[in-house]
Amino acid sequence: MPINAWLRAPRHLVVLFLGITLVLIVALGWLGGRLLQQDRALERQRVQDRLELAADRAAAAFTRRLAAIEDSLARLSATPQSELPIAAGRYADQLASDALLVVLTADGLESFPKGRLIYHPVTSPEVPPASVFARGEALEFRERDYERAGRLFRSLAQSDDPAVRAGALLRLARIHRKADRLDAALAVYADLAQLGDTPVGELPAELVARFARLTVLEELSRVAELQLEADSLYADLYAGRWQITRAGFRFHTQEVGRYVGSDIVHDPGNSMSAHKAVALAEGVDRLWRDWRSGQPDTRSVDRRIVWVGDDPFLIIRVGSSRSAAGIIAGAGQLDDWLTQVELTQATDGVALAIADVQGKPIISRFSDQPEVQARRAAAETGLPLTLRVASASLDADFIQLAERRRVMLLGMSVVALLVLVSLYAVTRGVTRELEAARLKSDFVAAVSHEFRTPLTSMRQLTELLIAGRVASAERRALYYNVINRESERLHRLVEGLLDFGRMEAGALEFHLEDIEVGALVRELVDEFQQEVGERGYEIVLNGGGEGGGGADTYTVRADDEALKRALWNLLDNAVKYSPDCKTVWIDETPENGCIAIRVRDRGVGIARADQKAVFQKFFRGRGRQIDGVKGTGIGLAMVRHIVEAHGGEVQVESEPGAGSTFTVRLPLASD
């Protein structure tokens, strides 16, 4: 079909409406989208403001926290040596397991709590004068007189000075080993181990003795003992039992590590992992070196993050170059402080994260890249770290937004739906009106046609009669008859149209009376038979049996004339639409409280799609295509109106090509 034809009314209206609706919906969607975008931007700004505020508060709280720590450190650095262990110990007890308090003096470095530092940046061994052992060593090395040398060292081992005692025992054990008295050497080493931290050379006596015992036990192949002692020595090294240097620590852990069981190597029995312990010691080493390289006599506060491998430490040092105190705080300690900051601050609904000055993350309480966050760089806050604040739950922040979005989407959907519904309603209304207009014009044409045929034949016959051109009386009688029949047909037509007009205006009145259905139908059939008999049609009443519907009589409350008109219409249609089979059947049968009057034909039938529509006014089905069939499309509409006004119903069953049956059901009159 060419597009122009397709777009003719009513389709072009539908297309127009559809276009307008589409534009409306798109505009609505665009507006809604813009609105949502703005709303989101506003919400983001609101969250951002809140986070900025929280970031300021957190920075202030962190600053206060560090100031308090620095106060304590300042006090500790000024504490007299005698009170230091108690004061520092008490303070260090509050620290997390990866933090250390150190006090730095000209004498060296002391760390708290004890045992957490596995090696020290400095040791201050008191080396005993070598001259004490000179005689003995001369006997041992030059004269190789082990007996006398041994005696000499044994007597020195009784000295009051523990350093001399330790030196003597070490040498005595050496002589035993040279003399191959390994058991005796072991015993002497055991004695030496009793001297604990007493320095021999640069190392504590106990460490030297216990390490020496391992080598002797190895020589003696006393594997079980060797293993046991090695394990415990290894654990003690990692427990920070002795004040030794990094080199000492590295050497001994490496050497002892050769003897220990593999499970011990990874778990030196410390509360921290070996790795962390080393990192902490390394941190202390840095602190020490920094302090030593600082300007003399300048009171200073130094705080910064240092990384030892992957481990971050915050180092805070307060004091002068003569005495200072510091804290090395690992990630665990920083986490604790962060928690305190969170607790002291009204930081509800926000999460904190800290990073070093360059922004390398240390602790984060939220996902990597939050949508909204506030940042405080070290330069802004004066803190040794970067502070970041994000929403603890961004979802919660945007919940209202989501709610508004839902409402808006719902509103927009409703509006869109309304637009669509109204489009549908308008289109339907317009289509119907146009269809009705078409039907009406068809109706006018049909009515004119209905009138013209009888009028034409009446005029021709009357002209003939007036002109006196019909000679035979018989012919004249025939013509009068035709004129009479045609005028009756016109009369019925006009009555029908008038009734239809009244029906349309709601002014059709019925005069109800008790009517015996059988008699009414018989009378109607007689009249109708006369009407159509000439054309060869036969109306069969109640299957053709004598006496109609038998002995029973059925009464209904009805308007005699109206009911006849309705049934006449049905019979008229049955005849009109049966061009071939010229028999029409009518019968009435009782059906629980009703009387059913059926008019049946074997005519053209009604297409299934049309069966509902035939009762609409002006509707004319495909039957009108039969040659010579006239009609106005109001017959069945009248039938339905009349039957329903009588409290009944009318139905059609039809098979195209096989015929139709119209059934009128009327309630029986109650006695």
Nearest distance in Å: CB 493, ligand ADP: 11
Q: Select 404 or 489, whichever has its Cβ closest to ligand ADP.
A: 489
Q: Select 268 or 603, whichever has its Cβ closest to ligand ADP.
A: 603
Is 568 within 8 Å of 636 (Cβ atoms)?
no
Out of 118, 636, 642, 666, the only residue in the binding site for ligand ADP (CB under 6 A) is 636
**Alpha helix (H) residue ranges in 179-298:** 182-193, 205-219, 223-238, 246-257, 262-266, 274-293
Phi, psi of 361 (to 5 degrees): -65, 140
Q: Is 614 in the site for ligand ADP (CB under 6 A)?
A: yes
Span near ligand ADP by CB under 6 A; candidates 155-163, 472-480, 589-597, 602-610: 602-610
Rounded distance between C-alpha atoms, residue 234 and residue 270, angstroms: 11
Q: Is 603 in the site for ligand ADP (CB under 6 A)?
A: yes
Q: Is 660 in the site for ligand ADP (CB under 6 A)?
A: yes
Span near ligand ADP by CB under 6 A; candidates 205-213, 331-339, 393-401, 569-577: 569-577
Out of 157, 532, 567, 606, the only residue in the binding site for ligand ADP (CB under 6 A) is 606
Interface size with ligand ADP, residues (CB under 6 A): 22
Span near ligand ADP by CB under 6 A; candidates 113-121, 275-283, 427-435, 612-620: 612-620
Helix (H) or strand (E) holding 634: none
Nearest distance in Å: CB 434, ligand ADP: 20
Nearest distance in Å: CB 644, ligand ADP: 15
Nearest distance in Å: CB 663, ligand ADP: 12
For 579, counting Cβ atoms within 10 Å of its Cβ (0-12 exposed, 13-18 middle, 19+ buried), the class is middle
Out of 283, 454, 549, 635, the only residue in the binding site for ligand ADP (CB under 6 A) is 635
Phi, psi of 322 (to 5 degrees): -90, -45
- Count of H helices and E strands in the chain? 20, 18
Rounded distance between C-alpha atoms, residue 485 and residue 545, angstroms: 30
User: Mutual orientation of helices 246-257 and 205-219 as an angle, nearest 10°?
Assistant: 20
98 token code pair? 């990866």
Q: Is 601 in the site for ligand ADP (CB under 6 A)?
A: yes
Residues 182-211 that bind ligand ADP (CB under 6 A): none
Q: Is 621 in the site for ligand ADP (CB under 6 A)?
A: yes
Q: Select 108 or 656, whichever has its Cβ closest to ligand ADP.
A: 656
For 189, counting Cβ atoms within 10 Å of its Cβ (0-12 exposed, 13-18 middle, 19+ buried), the class is buried
Residues in the chain: 671
Ramachandran region, residue 428 (left: φ > 0; alpha: ψ -120 to 50; beta: rest): alpha
CA atoms within 13 A on the CB side of 263: 2
User: Site map for ligand ADP, 514-553, x if CB under 6 A?
Assistant: ----------------------------------------
Minimal CB distance to ligand ADP: which residue? 631
298 token code pair? 């300048």
Q: Select 549 or 633, whichever has its Cβ closest to ligand ADP.
A: 633
Q: Is 577 in the site for ligand ADP (CB under 6 A)?
A: yes
In sequence order, what are the residues at sequence separation of 6 or more whose Cβ sits closer than 8 angstroms to the Cβ of residue 642? Answer: 510, 559, 562, 563, 565, 566
User: Taking the mean position of all CA atoms in its chain, how far away is CA 457?
Assistant: 83
What is the DSSP-derived secondary structure letter of residue 493?
Answer: H
Residues 372-411 that bind ligand ADP (CB under 6 A): none
User: Site map for ligand ADP, 428-467, x if CB under 6 A?
Assistant: ----------------------------------------
283 token code pair? 């941190």
Out of 316, 539, 574, 597, the only residue in the binding site for ligand ADP (CB under 6 A) is 574
Q: Is 631 in the site for ligand ADP (CB under 6 A)?
A: yes
User: Which residues lie near ligand ADP (CB under 6 A)?
Assistant: 573-574, 577, 601, 603-606, 614, 619-621, 623-624, 631-637, 660
